[in-house]
Amino acid sequence: MVRQTSSIRKQQIIEAARGLITEKGMEAVTIDAIAEAVGLSEGAIYRHFTSKREILLLLIDDLERGLLGAVETAQSVEPNALRVLECILETHLADVEGSRGVSFVVVSGAMSFEGIGLANRVRDMLNQYLKALEGVMQRGVDEGAFHSHLDVEAAAVTFFGIIQSTATIWALSGYSWSLDQWRTQILEIYKNGVAATLEKTTN
Instruction: Report pLDDT for 95.
Output: 79
- Domain 1-50 in CATH 3.40.470.10: no
Instruction: Report pLDDT for 202.
Output: 42
Helix axes 152-172, 180-194, angle to 10 degrees: 160
pLDDT band for position 2 (cuts 50, 70, 90)? very low
Cα–Cα distance between 109 and 197 in angstroms, integer?
37
Average pLDDT over residues 176-202: 71
> Do residues 63 and 106 lie in contact, with contact meaning Cβ atoms separated by under 8 Å?
yes
Instruction: Report pLDDT for 73.
Output: 96
Instruction: Give residue limits of the domains in the chain.
Output: 1-50, 56-194
Instruction: Report pLDDT for 144.
Output: 93
56-194 folds as Tetracycline Repressor; domain 2 (1.10.357)
> pLDDT by residue (tens digit) across 26-85?
778 899 999 999 999 999 999 999 998 999 899 889 889 989 999 999 999 999 999 999
Cα–Cα distance between 23 and 73 in angstroms, integer?
29
Instruction: Report pLDDT for 101.
Output: 63
Instruction: Mark 24-40 as b/e (b = at least 16 C-beta within 10 Å).
Output: eebeebebebbbebbeb
Mean residue pLDDT of the chain comes to 84
8-state DSSP, 25: -
